[in-house]
Amino acid sequence: MAKRGGFPGGGMPGNMANLMKQAQKMQRQMEEQAKEMETKEFSATAGGGAVEATVSGSKQLLKVKLEEEVVDPDDIEMLEDLIVAAVNEAMDKANEASASAMSKFTGGMGGQMPGLF
């Protein structure tokens, strides 16, 4: 009498258990990598170093440093633009580091795996 719902050859259940162990190991490594990323800081400057922004690996703005000469009450727009540029560049650095770290686990599939950075 043939078994229903079984795996032909009987070899698959062992391979499935191995796959599950590997997946769990990978998940732990990814979680460790995510925690490590949160502790990192990424800085970028704009306006020849007049504005510096620092963000965390969890993509939170940590600080903005301004050189005195960039603070011109008659040109607030320039200062705003420099801050935005520095923050965006720092965020780009954090995103690149995150993507690079995750590519170790995803083999370059990155954005195709929902729930990853």
Asked if residue 37 lies in contact with residue 97, where contact means CB atoms within 8 angstroms, the answer is yes
Q: What is the pTM of this model?
A: 0.67
Query: pLDDT tens for residues 60-113?
Result: 999 999 999 999 999 999 999 999 999 999 999 999 988 888 787 766 554 444
Sign of CA dihedral 34, 40, 45, 51: positive
**What digits encode the pLDDT tens for the residues 18-70?**
888 888 888 888 888 888 888 899 999 999 999 999 999 988 999 999 999 99
Under 8 Å CB-to-CB from 40, ≥6 apart: which residues? 56, 57, 94, 97
